[in-house]
Amino acid sequence: MQTSLAKAFLATPNGQQAEKILRACVHCGFCTATCPTYLLLGDERDGPRGRIYFIKQMLEGQPVSENSRIHLDRCLSCKSCETTCPSGVHYGQLLDIGRLELERRLPRPFLQRVFRVCLRAILPYPKRFSVLLRTGQYLRSLLPEDLHKQIPSHQQPGKLPQAQHDRRVILFPGCVQSVATPATSTIAARILDRMGISVIFPPSTGCCGAVDQHLSAPKQARARMRQNIDAWWPELEQGAEAVVVGASGCGAMLTEYGHLLADDPIYADKAKVVARKVRDLSQILEALPLEQLGINGHGRRVAFHTPCSLQHSLLLGGRVEKLLQRLNFSLAPIADSHLCCGSAGTYSILQKELSRQMLNNKINTLENNDAEVIATANIGCQLYLATAAHKPVVHWIELLEN
Ligand code: SF4
Ligand code: SF4
């Protein structure tokens, strides 16, 4: 695509990156067919090609309006368009640049800004989120019945094994996951321990930075990245093999550290190393002889929902399914498995109507079979699917506990 970005903008790292991405797009429109918002709304402005075109116009200096923001806000950042694109266009990176520039040129209305600040002040902080969740759980019986499912039930974390093995990995607990479904980490830790790998939780680990990054607060996101690198670096230097992540949304963010801190004079190199050490839980477990632990699904029928972050960001689609099949689980075929469930970080809070339509479509495909349980690999999807599902929704690691 031909571009003529504003000169001052072109002189910045974001400007150069945006131009490179825009030039890679040949405007073929293949990506449109796999974009969840285009499929629902049928409007080119709500598909990747339309959004790319809008971002290009904005970066070339054309006027922006609240109407342009509507179409950009409706994007899930699911990256389904990226895995479809034959030209390798890094749409997600362009979207981050576009959103940032739009915030600068056209600040949001006051109430929207306050709401976003509140989300950023709660979700990345386990203690604060825990207070909110426990209050909701305590008051649940007073709420109307249709709201009950919006609040996840309390989950016992279970016992963590002592770190005793030479082989060890850092286990990233995740802010929301560590509060809402703490058993995901403890079950993973117990299985790894039985396989001769200890897990460690470096104490000053914080949020991966995804909430800030996706709400156009890159400075705060970078501060969180640096904090995590500082927390993990001594462990990695002393031989921790990997940073293992049970929530693919966090994993997708952690693998971006190298790119997002590339211009940081102090952290750039360390960020690249950390990003290379990140492993989804499925990547660690698939390499281990789990059968020796007696883990066997005995043909249990499972409907697996592949999170967008797992398949479109980490490019690990099919891995969990393969592992479950290896362990004798039976997987129900799922139609349109490339499409988002509507959770998408804070999307289900900020774009309620659209995300609910996506959720209902997703539940229809996940429950249109004889599976007894729905499994997934990301806390956001897990909690959101559970608000509408008629079957239990679990993290897939829970299926492996015996
Ligand atoms: S992003 Fe890729 S698939 Fe979409 S219009 Fe551009 S080149 Fe085509
Ligand atoms: S990231 Fe998802 S919602 Fe956004 S344009 Fe791409 S496919 Fe559509």
51 lines ligand 2 (CB under 6 A): yes
Q: What is the pLDDT of residue 85?
A: 98
In this structure, the number of other CB atoms found within 10 A of the CB of residue 30 comes to 14
81 lines ligand 2 (CB under 6 A): yes
Q: What is the pLDDT of residue 27?
A: 93
Going from the Cα of 360 to the center of ligand 2, the distance in angstroms, rounded, reads 18
Write the residue with the smallest CA distance to atom 7 of ligand 2: 35
What's the DSSP call for residue 191? H
**Rounded to whole angstroms, how far apart are CA atoms 201 and 234?**
12
Q: Are 224 and 274 in contact (CB under 8 A)?
A: no
Going from the Cα of 37 to the center of ligand 1, the distance in angstroms, rounded, reads 16
| Radius of gyration (C-alpha) of the chain in whole angstroms | 21
Q: Which ligand is nearest to the CA of 214?
A: 2
Substitution site in 25, 35, 46, 312 for ligand 1 pocket (most atoms within 8 Å of beta carbon): 25
Return the closest-CA partner of residue 46 out of 73, 23, 65, 9: 73
Class of domain 290-400: alpha beta
Return the closest-CA partner of residue 37 out of 21, 25, 22, 49: 49
Predicted TM-score of the model (pTM) = 0.95
**Rounded to whole angstroms, how far apart are CA atoms 47 and 240?**
42
**Rounded to whole angstroms, how far apart are CA atoms 286 and 284?**
6
Q: Are 123 and 129 in contact (CB under 8 A)?
A: yes
Q: What is the pLDDT of residue 8?
A: 85
23 lines ligand 1 (CB under 6 A): no
- CATH classification code of 7-107: 1.10.1060.10
Q: What is the pLDDT of residue 44?
A: 96
Positions of CATH 1.10.1060.10 in the chain: 7-107
394 lines ligand 1 (CB under 6 A): no
Substitution site in 89, 90, 93 for ligand 1 pocket (most atoms within 8 Å of beta carbon): 89
Write the residue with the smallest CA distance to atom 5 of ligand 2: 48
Alpha-carbon torsion, ordered 78, 123, 378, 135, to 10 deg: -130
**Rounded to whole angstroms, how far apart are CA atoms 318 and 265?**
37
Structure tokens at 169: 């990995």
Sign of the alpha-carbon dihedral angle for 204, 206, 209, 212: negative
Write the residue with the smallest CA distance to atom 8 of ligand 1: 28
Q: What is the pLDDT of residue 7?
A: 85
Q: What does the pLDDT profile of the chain (402 residues) look like in tens digits?
A: 788 888 888 999 899 999 999 999 999 999 999 999 999 999 999 999 999 999 999 999 999 999 989 999 999 999 999 999 999 999 999 999 999 999 999 999 999 999 999 999 999 999 999 999 999 999 888 877 777 788 888 899 899 999 999 999 999 999 999 999 999 999 999 999 999 999 999 999 999 999 999 998 999 999 999 999 999 999 999 999 999 999 999 999 999 999 999 999 999 999 999 999 999 999 999 999 999 999 999 999 999 999 999 999 999 999 999 999 999 999 999 999 999 999 999 999 999 999 999 999 999 999 999 999 999 999 999 999 999 999 999 999 999 997
